Amino acid sequence: MSEARENIHRVIRDKGILKQDVFQNTQQVFQDLRLVLREVLGDIEKQFAHADSRVTFNLSDKGDFQTEMKVAGDVLVFQMHTNVFQFDQSHSLWKSGYLREQPENSYVGIINIYNFLADSFKYQRLTDVGYLIGRIFVNREDHFLVQGKRQMGYQFNDFVNAKLDHAALTQIVEAALLYTLDFDLLTPPYENMQILSVEEIQSMGHSQVLATGKRLGFQFGIEK
């Protein structure tokens, strides 16, 4: 066997096993996350049981890699990406011995957290938009990092030392909920609503076809 062929086999063997390890670990984390979502939502429902029947809650799994959590007028979508990624070489984490000494630790799975309006699903408004409010990176050793809005962006950023367990998952879900519930739907800019086609206005009798989102027409990127 040639040296090149041996190198090919070695890389496939080493990286293939590593990525399978990361994928399976992320998949287990996602299953643990689903249990945490049920616990958190169950507690919220219990506390809110007799307050107002118009405020509803629901949790539904959409296949193996997605779960939707409805809380009042919002839906949080937790979606596990099926691919494994590596932190870019320019990432500050490469300055740590944790990655420098064991580059395998730089490979991560990703769980994305999106926020949609509940009415977008209820009324099948397919042009409505949701927002990525956070994403969880987890490696083969359960070390994790969360990129996200407000407290999610700085509360869970110790990838070198922090391990993802039941308590950490609960804190992430609670932080996502707090941000979502405080992230209100703003009136859209007037100029965005000035022009409407005949097709759009006629269709609105059946389903609102104008795209709606909490910051549609605004610069969501500046949200902190």
What contacts 53, CB < 8 A, 6 or more positions away?
none
- Is 70 exceeded by the pLDDT of residue 213? no
The radius of gyration of the chain from alpha carbons, rounded to an integer in Å, stands at 21
Beta bridge partners of 59: 69
Tens digit of each residue's pLDDT (9 = 90 or more) over 172-209: 999 999 999 887 765 666 565 666 666 666 666 555 55
User: Domain segments of the chain: what residues?
Assistant: 3-222
Give yes or no for a contact between 173 and 181, defined as CB atoms under 8 angstroms apart.
no
At 50 the pLDDT is 76
Looking at per-residue pLDDT, the higher value among 173 and 223 belongs to: 173
Q: What is the pTM of this model?
A: 0.84
At 89 the pLDDT is 94
Packing angle, helices 166-182 and 3-48, rounded to 10: 60
Among 91, 87, 127, 133, CA closest to 111: 133
Average pLDDT over residues 2-6: 80
Q: What is the mean pLDDT of the chain?
A: 86
Give the lowest-confidence range in 28-37, 42-51, 126-135, 212-221: 212-221
At 195 the pLDDT is 65
What contacts 159, CB < 8 A, 6 or more positions away?
93, 96, 98, 137, 143, 144, 145
At 220 the pLDDT is 46
Tens digit of each residue's pLDDT (9 = 90 or more) over 14-72: 788 999 999 999 999 999 999 999 999 999 998 887 778 888 899 999 999 999 999 99
